[in-house]
Amino acid sequence: MGLDVLLETAQSGSGNAARAALSDLVSRLYPSLIGYLVNLTSDRETAKDACQETMVRIVTSISKFAPRPGTGLMASLRAWAFAIATNVCRDLSRKSPRTRPLADVGEDLESDRTRQAPATEDEALSGIARDSLMSAVDRLPREQRGVFLLKAYYGYSYREIGRIVGCPEGTAKSRLHHAVLALREEMKRRGTQ
């Protein structure tokens, strides 16, 4: 069943077919959502809670979703889900501040890709550099971290990032600029640049 048919069926909101279509859509969104949330919250348990709440909000508001013109349906759906997830994280951060550092973040960033053990020393060293970078990303303020992740790992435009995180396009650019400067400085300090 095509994505457009799944969405139409899920938005109909009636019967087993709608529930099955909604379940299929949610399962397609889950891997990228949980990866984004683990990186945004820097805590697996918080990310799981945020993902669960995000899924509830998606299910309860799927009938309101309208794809953005000129954007593929899945990309539009994912951007909408990321916006919901970002808002859920804001709500959760108001209730309880971040308490633990992120562990094993590299795995979650590549959850949608096939992973293999490094075949060469160069690949192993690049894995170490990636781990060091992700450790530095974890230290960024949440707003900068979110923009960095959405741009660097998910490829969203500044306009899309602004929509997802709820800020003007210029603010998204500024946050990314400051994130990159902070990351460069941290990597230089660690001697991994």
Residue 80 is predicted with a pLDDT of 95
Identify how many contiguous H helices and E strands the chain contains and give both numbers: 9, 0
In this structure, are residues 62 and 77 in contact, taking their beta carbons and an 8 Å threshold? no
Res. 171: pLDDT tops 80: yes
Residue type, 154: Y
- Tell which wins on pLDDT, 190 or 110: 190
pTM metric for this prediction: 0.73
Q: How confident is the model at residue 131 (pLDDT cuts 50, 70, 90)?
A: confident
What is the CATH number that goes with domain 119-193?
1.10.10.10
Domain ranges of the chain: 1-67+87-97, 119-193
Q: Specify burial of residue 101 (Cβ count, 10 A radius: 0-12, 13-18, 19+).
A: exposed
| Both structure tokens of 41 | 């919250």
Cα separation, 97 vs 52, whole angstroms = 19
Residue 144 is predicted with a pLDDT of 93
Cα separation, 33 vs 192, whole angstroms = 29
Q: How confident is the model at residue 127 (pLDDT cuts 50, 70, 90)?
A: low
pLDDT (mean) for 12-36: 91
Residue 129 is predicted with a pLDDT of 63
Q: How far apart are the first and last CA of the chain?
A: 46
Res. 187: pLDDT tops 90: no
96-120 confidence digits (pLDDT tens): 654 333 333 334 444 433 334 444 5
Q: How confident is the model at residue 26 (pLDDT cuts 50, 70, 90)?
A: very high
Residues above pLDDT 70, as percent of the chain: 80
66-95 confidence digits (pLDDT tens): 998 888 899 999 999 999 999 998 888 777
Cα separation, 192 vs 134, whole angstroms = 12
Q: Specify burial of residue 147 (Cβ count, 10 A radius: 0-12, 13-18, 19+).
A: buried
